[in-house]
Each structure stands twice: as C-alpha cells, then as structure tokens.
Structure 1
Amino acid sequence: MVRLLTALGVLLVLHMASSYKLVCHMTNWAQYRPHASKFTPDNIDPFLCTHVIYALVTINNFNQIHPLEWNDEQQIGRLNSLKVINPELKTLLTVGGRANVLSPFIPMVAKPENRAAFIKSAISYLRNHNFDGLNLAWEYPGHNGSPREDKERFTLLVAELSKAFDDEAKENRKTRLLLSANVAALRPTIFAAYEVDKISPHLDFINVMTYDFHGSWDGVTGHNSPLYRSTVDSGSRIHHNIDSSVTQWLTLGAPAEKLLLGFPTYGRTYLLRSTANGLGAPASGPGNAGLYTQTAGFLAFYEICTFIPGATVTRIPEQKVPYATSRSEWVGYDDQLSYSSKVQWMTEHKLGGAHVWTLDMDDFGGSFCSTGAYPLVNHLRMSMGFPPKPTTTPGPTTTKDPVSSFCQGRPDGLYVNPADATTFFQCYLGNTYLQRCQAGLIYYDSCKCCNWP
C-alpha cells in the first residue's frame, strides 16, 4: 500500500509538472556585462525551461518589428538553434521598449491599418527566424504618455493578433504561433491598463510581473517580491504583494491556468538612513551599484551571493522572503526557500506555472554561488515537479565511431545506448546527441526517460 501511494504521488507530481509552463526570459543587453556575468544564448541550458523568451526588439515608424541590438539576429539564431538539441523547447520574441521616451505601441495601436501592418510584420519575422510565438511587453496601456483609450486598443491588438495567428496556421498548415504578454502587478495599473476578461481568451499565457513591489523609491525598506503583505504596510501598499496582485487578476476574469507567477532572480537594495535596519526602516536612497549589473538599487542574484557572506540574513516570516544587511546596505531578494513557498502558493491557486526574470541574473555559470549553474531556476524546476534534466553535449557527436552514425536513417526520438545505461541517444534530423541521466539514474526506453534503477 505504501509503495502504491508513493507511486501515485510520483505520478501526480509528474502530471502537474507536465501541465506547468516554466517560461524564462533572457535579455539581449546582458551580453555587455563584464567577465563572468556576460550572458548570451550559448549560456542557456536547453532543457532548463519549457519556453525561453528573447527580450527585446521594438517597433519602428513603419509599424514593423525592428531589432534593437546590432547582433540581435545572430543571437536569435543561436537561441533557436537550441531547439535542435531539445525539440520540445519553445521560443518567443518580446516586442516593447521605448522610442523617444514613449512606448512604440502607442502610435501602432492608434489606427487599424497600423495594427494590421504590425501583425503582418510580426508573423513574417517570427516565421523567418524560427520563433514559436510573440510576447507583448507594453508598460503600460493608459500610462506613461499612453492615452486612456489605449486600454481598449490593446484589447483590439490582442484579439487581432490571435485571429491572424489562427488564420496563418490554417492557411499554411503550420503549428499556430503562441501569444503571451507581460502584465502589471499593481492594482491601479491593472484596472487602468487592461480589460482582463476580454484579453485573457486570446492569450496563451499571461506573465504577471510580480516583482518591483518595493524599491528605493519608497523611502523605506521593503521587499522586491513578497508573497503576502507585512504588518508595516499601510494604505495602497497593503496590495503590494503576490497574493493580492494575482488574486486581482483572477477576480477580474483571468483563468488561473493562463496566469504565470513571476520569479525574479534579482533583489532591490537601499542605503539605510539610521541604525534601524528592519522591514520599513528609513532609507536615504538606492544601494550601491553592483560590480557587474552596475545599477544603483539593484543586484543580480550572483551579486547577492557575494554580498551575503559578510551580511546578516533575516527572514520575514509573514512574507516568506529574506533580506540581508551589511553596514548601511539592505537588500531584499529571493532564495531557494522563498521560491519553494511561492511554488506552494502557485500550486494551491492552480496557476499555469512560472515565468523567470531573468536567466542572465541567476548564477548561470555557477561561478559565484558555489552551488552549481542556475541555482535558483534549477531549484524552481525541481520544486515544480519536473523530472531530472538530461545532460547535453554541445552538439552532434563527430567522432569517427559507430556513435556518430547511430541516428543516420533513424526517425527522430530517444534511443537506448547499449554501451552505457546512464546515457542515451537523441536523434534529430539524422544527428546523434549523447545525453546523460542525472547522477544515480539510468535510461529506460519503456518510458523514454531516466529513472532510478
């Protein structure tokens, strides 16, 4: 009976994991960070996330998709080449940014013909560059110079994109392109920016940006991404937390299975004004810029790893998150334990999964935190119940032995390696990829998976 219950429990976890999305953002500006913090698509583990979103391109004056970096198309090619290693990986392209301080969405959504030109350009760009979908990042309709009418115009854009994606897939007999959006977490912004019940049916998933709830702009210390409100919150700040934000999206009509909870891989920092150093302590401004991210009031997780050894770490029990202080600096951040608490909340509320901002601010190379590559995202994946990842080789085998020709003439798929049960072959387009099971596991062809002996 115990074995049966254990087996059922494992099956339940695997079923939950199979229905979850783990969507990970990467940024094209991370390539300019110095030394070990420089990040490109070559640093991505193709089996870590279910979806990877490339940020960011923009919209030009002709309502066309337009790259922002000189090597965007080169980086995009390298990102999408990861799908040769993991054919199950989905990639999306984020469009957003600013043009002359304003969002390029503002003039684009203003007229039907502008939206039509953008949609045509988007489909062409996505197909030509082997993307699986489009992610909209407008911060925000009806804000920052955007007129109130843009709330309804955003709904029109989303509906028109969705229909165009449907029509294009049917016409060309292709898999339909995905459509997602990064959306606000603060209640006043949600109300002013979105017709939630009208946009939700047209989006495949919705990335709720449940971070930046607090920062140096508050004048007092507060956590970047708390799960619940704290006793020091008052006024509108009682809603500056994940529980309140996601509950509002649900109340306004968003289906739980389409909402993805945001997991930040960075923290917000403060300079303390006095000897008080708890939650809600007076702050004189942003904390010092990190050596690698070089932005005041902000530290990537790999920078926080080097901050913590000389700091005092305190957990906020009511908010399920930690902060660290050292002399006059205060940083609120996420760690593996806070990620676990958020996954539990996510599961209880039957959300569709998680999205990570960003891959390039986790310790992606494993050189800062001494806990291996991607300590946060790997822990998130495990907490969500995903099975162990295969260990990949950089590309097809090239040695002149039977392994290199194993997949020639075979259908794409996974195959037993008769010489080593801890590895297996992945065939794709005639190429042979040698994959390794996680330590202690062996490959079983019956389930096409690695499992305990």
Structure 2
Amino acid sequence: MRVPPHPDPTSARRPGDRSQIPPPVSPAPLQRPGGKDTAMGSLGRKSSGDMTGRFLHVFILAGLLAAAVGGEASPGGAGVLGEVGDQDDRVMVCYFGSWAVYRPGAGRFDVEDIDTDICTHLIYGFAGLKADTHEIVSLDPYNDLDVNYGKGAFKRFTGLKKLNPDLKTLLAIGGWNEGSSKYSQMAATEDSRAKFITSCVLFLQKFGFDGLDLDWEYPTLRGGKPEDKLNFALLLDEMRSRFDKQGLMLTAAVSAGEATIDAAYNVSALVRNLDFVHLMAYDLHGTWEQYAHHHSPLYAYAGDKGGNLKLNVDYAVQYWLKLGVPETKLVLGIGLYGRCFTLARADQHDVYSPSYQPGLPGPYTRSPGMQGFNEICESEGREAWTVVRDTHMVSPFAYRERQWCGYDDVQSVETKASYIVSLGLAGAMVWSIETDDFHGNCHAGPFPLITTIRTVLRDGKPIPTPTPPPTPTPTPEPETTTDTTTTTTPSPPPPSTVCHREGFNTDPKDCTAFYSCHQVGDHWQVYHFQCAPGTVFVEDLQTCDFAQDHQDLCVNNSYSYHHQNPNSIDYDYEVDQNRLNKVPKAKKTDFLEKMKRFEKKLKEISEAAFLDTTQASVKTRTVEIPAKDDASKRSQHRQAKKLRMMKKKSNKNGPEGLY
C-alpha cells in the first residue's frame, strides 16, 4: 500500500488554495484561485429593469446562443441553463476541500458533515494528474479510496445523493498545488488527450460522480506553453463529445484576472462545451502585496487606482460577460474565508495600510494569511475586533491591534447573491463548505453563509445593491504578475542538492519527508512534504511506503507519528491491492493495530500541543536553478539504491512483501 504525504493545501482554493490556498487572481488549490493583474480598463455596470421581463429575455437569449454555437444540453448541466429565469433552477455549487478531515478539534469536517439540502451541486476537491500516463489519479488514496483499508471518501461523497436524489456530485481535478506543466503536456497531443479523457470517464463512472470540474491553473502560465490556449480548447471539444455519450457534466473553474483570462482561455470553446463556468472571484488581493486590501470586494474601493480598479468582483463578471459567456452559464464564486495581514503599525488599519507579513493562522486551517469564516467569527466572539463595512467594497474587514482580515459575512453574501439575481447569472459557487460556520457557533443555525445565499437565489428577490463608484481615469502602471500559493509560506532557498530533477526528490536530512520540485523558467518552485505516519519516502518508487519495508533507507527506523494534511502523489491502488493480498495476515494486523494506536494517541493530545507539532507542515520556496550536478554521481546514487532494494527482495523468505 502506498500512503500519501499529508500537507495542508487548505485555505482558499487556488481555485485558486479549491488550495484550501489556494493566491492571486485565480482556490485549492485549490486550490485548492489565480493571478493578479494590473492592466487598465473600465468598470462595467449591471442593467436594471423589470425582473420578470429580464428573465424572459435571458431565457430567449440562452436558446439563441445555444443554437448559434451548436452546443448540446448535457444531463444535469446545460439542460437547466435555458430556464435560469426560474429561480428554482439557479445553482448553488459547493466545493468540498477533502483535507478538512485532518483538521483539529471543531475544525474537522468530513463527508458526513455536508448538509445535502443547501447545495444543488457538490464538488469534491481534488483529484490529480499522473504525469507519465496522463491519467486522473487520487491525491489522497487513504482518504479517497476504499481499498487497502482506506476510508472510501469518493463513494461516500457520491452516496450523499441517496439523501437528496436531486443533488449532483462532481469531481474537481487540478488546483493551484498541481501546477500547470503536467496539464500542458497532457493537452499537447491528440493521443495524450484521449488517454486522459478515457481515464476520466472510467474514474467518474467507477465512483459514481456526475461529472468533472477542470481546475487547470492556468493554461500558458506557471510552466505552461503558448500552445496551451489552443490545446485546452481542443481538450474541451473532445471531452464534451465523450462526456455527452456518457451523460456526464463538464465544468471549469476560471480566473478573475483580465491578463490571465486573455492568456489562458479560448472563451468560445468554454461556452460551447461547459455546462457552467465557475468564476473564482476571490483572492484578488493577498499577502503577496505589501499592503492590506480585501481579497473579494464587490466594487472597487474608493482609493483604488491603476490596475487595482480591475481587481473586484463586478469588473471580473462584466469582463467575462463582455467576452461572450452567457449569464446562464456564469456562476459567481464567493469565498467563505478571509485573507489576513499583520499590519506594520497598529494605528494604521485602513485599506492600503502597510503590511509585510501574513496574518496569524487560525486554529483549524493553520495557514498564515488565511482564516476560514468559522475561525474569524469565533475569534470576533471571543475578542474585541473592530469591524468596518465600506460602502463600495460591500464585504467587511476587521482589525484588532496589528491583525487585519478581509472576509465575507452574512450581510455581504446576501448582497452578492442579490447581485447574482439582478444580473440573471446561473447561480453561486462557494469555496468552500467546510469553512462556513458549519457548527452554528456564531449564528442561529449551521452554514449561515451558504443558507443565506441559497435563500436569496431561491426567492429571486434582489435587495438594493450599492451604486458602483465613479471610475477615475486609470493611472498607467507597469504590469506585474506574481505567482503565489494559498497553502504555503516562504522560506529560505534550499541547498543546491535538493532539486536534482523535476518531480519528487528525497529530503537528505529526513527519510520521512521529500521535496516536490517544479521548474518555472530559470527557477525551481519547491514544496516540502511529510509522509503519512509509519512511512518513508522512496525516490525510486516516487511515493511514500511502509517504513518496515525500507529499513535501509533510514538511520533510525522509528515510526514518525506526525499528523499531516492530505496531498498527492501517483498511486496505483489496484497493484497495491494485489500485493497486499500476498502479505501474511499477521503483518496486516500489525499495521492496522499501529494505526489504531496512532489515532488513539491523537485524541489524547491537547489542541495546543497538537498545533505545536503540526504548524507550518508545508513550505514553498523559489530558488535559482543551480548548475547541473555531476551526472555520474547522481547515476551512482540511483544505482546504489536499486541494488539495495534488489538485495532486500532476494533475501526475503515466504510471500513477497509489499514492495
């Protein structure tokens, strides 16, 4: 059995964190969200008028557009879009960051904690892409799959439809932490695209998903190629053809940054192939900047100028509509989290106040610079925070001493939902359900943000929204784009021996950890991950494996009982199952007992001690690529490893071991 490493891509989806941690204009990242843009432009305005007439107008327009592009209605997706005038058909899309199951205390959130009545569509984040075969894979096999004593979250997730037969469940692939280069390679040829599509169809059918949500962040960027824009369009055309035959939905999470949009997307291909376009209208500002600003303002702040005039929800929505995405397919994303800053001075706490450090992490998500709404509202209940609500931004920010967080609350999401109704958009998307106040600790009931959004969408009665501020003539500024991640924190450059190849590399100082190295231009982007409990990283296998089967790799062969959060590496669960069946029963029992003792130990640890052992488990750094190491030394090192493994296998008696 290969056990995944457990970093926490929390925070916001880089769907920016879907990556969750997501990031600039995109969210996990995915996510889970995207890149910042500073080009010039004008703010769009929503139209007004009788709502009944507008909905009828949208209905007719949608039909004409569908006929014009030749798109076919796919089950559960485009077939609903033509009737967006009926408020019951507005979608409420909820992303689920599956790594929330590893969060401590009251922040822990599993599949069974999902309320199946408040969302119309649930999206599981995330699956990944196997680089060498171009196939979709699980990123956390222990949690996702039900083989090798796994928890089977995939099937439990799709099984939620038993509680609500109208519910649609989709699987998201990608996110910020997955990068772009693997997807660029997959989309480059017709053959590799066909392999990917076939694997997706089989994977979705195997686990009972209704469709796939593409979260490639982003075509042509972050290690991608200029050809990605065309290749992504071809991929969508080919996926739509196959998915229609199987009755599967196809959606995508897209950036809110103008420069990213222009570089990455063939909009007509998105329109004719996607059931919904999920606009990640959050992470527009963050700790990659040297000042505090709200990451998801509805309209521009009065003090915005230059490129920042484009970094707001309304501008992103109007830009996508201008490019030709019909209202009936555009789903507005709302972040259920805040971006937090540590201010340079406690007496300067307005927007644009200097800040050179991320805000303190919350007790559940534990990501500097980001806190879930559940963490923010609980903190406001315990401590004296000053809450400020700007007329134009709509969404509030709060400060206490040198801590500053911009977020959405019940009042602001109500206004954003009303904005959706006023424009006749397809509905709302949230990243992510597990950072809402799902216990109802701060409100009269659980999930107050999602419930508020859904109520406004269902009632179809827009409340008054603020008039956007006048748009001053933008001051030209040099365009800059800064890559960041929602789930990681900066650290000093690693030694030149860390990255000797693209992909996963051994940590020479810790056999239970490894580096994930991605070449971006003339730099390495490096992430440091920890293997799951009781495992070590085996570079020849490119995965974490049982420590007891690789005793020669560690000087000290003790089990490392750390609790990490999920991430992914390539995993062949069918091969593992066959090999595990050959292992003596006593060996399996011993492993299961160790895991039970580990989980029991976790429950006994106090929250404070727990946080001390898990803080900052994932780090990223960007360093210049060093000169090539001596090729012969690297070759000798790899050969020595293989010889040790061959010798170990030849000395085994009885049934073959796991590896």
Which of 86, 103, 107 is matched with 1:16 structurally?
86
- Within a 5 Å distance, the mapping from 1:297-316 to structure 2 comes to 297-309=369-381, 310-316=384-390
2:364 aligns with 292
What's the C-alpha RMSD, in Å, of the aligned pairs? 2.0
Question: Is 1:199 aligned with 2:270?
Answer: yes
Please give the alpha-carbon distance, in whole angstroms, between the structure 1 residues aligned to 2:233 and 2:310: 25
1:421 aligns with none
Matched-pair contact (CA < 8 Å) for 1:151–1:194: yes
- Within a 5 Å distance, the mapping from 1:183-194 to structure 2 comes to 183-194=254-265
1:105 aligns with 183
Question: Is 1:213 aligned with 2:284?
Answer: yes
1:230 aligns with 301
- Within a 5 Å distance, the mapping from 1:364-379 to structure 2 comes to 364-366=438-440, 368-379=441-452
Shift of 1:329: 0.5
Shift of 1:198: 2.4
What secondary structure sits across from 1:269 in the alignment? Answer: strand
Q: Which runs of 5+ in 1 are unaligned?
A: 1-7, 170-175, 388-453
Question: Is 1:178 aligned with 2:253?
Answer: no
2:413 aligns with 339
Shift of 1:57: 0.5
Q: Deviations over 1:285-325 (max 9, x none)?
A: 21011111110010000100122232000101111111101
Please give the alpha-carbon distance, in whole angstroms, between the structure 2 residues aligned to 1:316 and 1:16: 32
Shift of 1:369: 1.6
Please give the alpha-carbon distance, in whole angstroms, between the structure 2 residues aligned to 1:230 and 1:99: 30
Please give the alpha-carbon distance, in whole angstroms, between the structure 2 residues aligned to 1:241 and 1:214: 9
Matched-pair contact (CA < 8 Å) for 1:103–1:138: no
Please give the alpha-carbon distance, in whole angstroms, between the structure 2 residues aligned to 1:330 and 1:177: 43
Structure 1 residues 306 and 185, CA gap change in structure 2 (3 angstroms): same
Please give the alpha-carbon distance, in whole angstroms, between the structure 2 residues aligned to 1:252 and 1:98: 24
* TM-score when normalising by structure 1: 0.79
- Within a 5 Å distance, the mapping from 1:130-145 to structure 2 comes to 130-145=208-223
Please give the alpha-carbon distance, in whole angstroms, between the structure 2 residues aligned to 1:100 and 1:201: 26
Which of 102, 117, 120 is matched with 1:47 structurally?
117
2:342 aligns with 271
Please give the alpha-carbon distance, in whole angstroms, between the structure 2 residues aligned to 1:97 and 1:286: 22
Letter matched to residue 282 of structure 1: P
Q: Deviations over 1:145-204 (max 9, x none)?
A: 1011101111111111001112x23xxxxxx10000000001110000101122211000
What secondary structure sits across from 2:458 in the alignment? Answer: coil
Please give the alpha-carbon distance, in whole angstroms, between the structure 2 residues aligned to 1:301 and 1:316: 19
Structure 1 residues 161 and 190, CA gap change in structure 2 (3 angstroms): same
Question: Is 1:126 aligned with 2:204?
Answer: yes
Structure 1 residues 338 and 77, CA gap change in structure 2 (3 angstroms): same
What secondary structure sits across from 2:116 in the alignment? Answer: coil
Please give the alpha-carbon distance, in whole angstroms, between the structure 2 residues aligned to 1:308 and 1:383: 26
Structure 1 residues 98 and 234, CA gap change in structure 2 (3 angstroms): closer
Which of 102, 105, 109 is matched with 1:32 structurally?
102
Matched-pair contact (CA < 8 Å) for 1:96–1:103: no
What secondary structure sits across from 1:125 in the alignment? Answer: helix
Letter matched to residue 120 of structure 1: T
Please give the alpha-carbon distance, in whole angstroms, between the structure 2 residues aligned to 1:154 and 1:31: 33
Structure 1 residues 203 and 139, CA gap change in structure 2 (3 angstroms): same
Moved over 4 A (4+): 97-103
Please give the alpha-carbon distance, in whole angstroms, between the structure 1 residues aligned to 2:356 and 2:379: 20
Please give the alpha-carbon distance, in whole angstroms, between the structure 2 residues aligned to 1:128 and 1:374: 31
Shift of 1:212: 0.2
Shift of 1:24: 0.3
Please give the alpha-carbon distance, in whole angstroms, between the structure 1 residues aligned to 2:178 and 2:239: 25
Shift of 1:84: 0.8
2:430 aligns with 356
1:434 aligns with none
Question: Is 1:260 aligned with 2:331?
Answer: yes
Q: Deviations over 1:15-55 (max 9, x none)?
A: 63222010000012111100111111100111110000000
Please give the alpha-carbon distance, in whole angstroms, between the structure 1 residues aligned to 2:276 and 2:390: 31
Question: Is 1:251 aligned with 2:297?
Answer: no
Matched-pair contact (CA < 8 Å) for 2:101–2:110: yes
Question: Is 1:83 aligned with 2:161?
Answer: yes
- Aligned-residue sequence identity (percent) comes to 38
Q: Deviations over 1:384-426 (max 9, x none)?
A: 1269xxxxxxxxxxxxxxxxxxxxxxxxxxxxxxxxxxxxxxx
* TM-score when normalising by structure 2: 0.54
Letter matched to residue 427 of structure 2: G
1:323 aligns with 397
Structure 1 residues 16 and 326, CA gap change in structure 2 (3 angstroms): farther
1:385 aligns with 458
Does 1 or 2 have the higher relative contact order (CA < 8 Å, sep 6+)?
Answer: 2
Please give the alpha-carbon distance, in whole angstroms, between the structure 2 residues aligned to 1:109 and 1:27: 26
Q: Deviations over 1:93-139 (max 9, x none)?
A: 00114788554312110111000001011111111111110000011
Please give the alpha-carbon distance, in whole angstroms, between the structure 2 residues aligned to 1:311 and 1:353: 32
Matched-pair contact (CA < 8 Å) for 1:96–1:104: no
Please give the alpha-carbon distance, in whole angstroms, between the structure 2 residues aligned to 1:248 and 1:25: 24
1:157 aligns with 235
Question: Is 1:59 aligned with 2:59?
Answer: no
2:492 aligns with none
Q: May I ask how many residue pairs the two structures share in their alignment?
A: 370
1:419 aligns with none
Please give the alpha-carbon distance, in whole angstroms, between the structure 1 residues aligned to 2:197 and 2:364: 37
Matched-pair contact (CA < 8 Å) for 2:180–2:221: no
Please give the alpha-carbon distance, in whole angstroms, between the structure 1 residues aligned to 2:314 and 2:443: 32
Matched-pair contact (CA < 8 Å) for 1:97–1:104: no
Structure 1 residues 321 and 292, CA gap change in structure 2 (3 angstroms): same
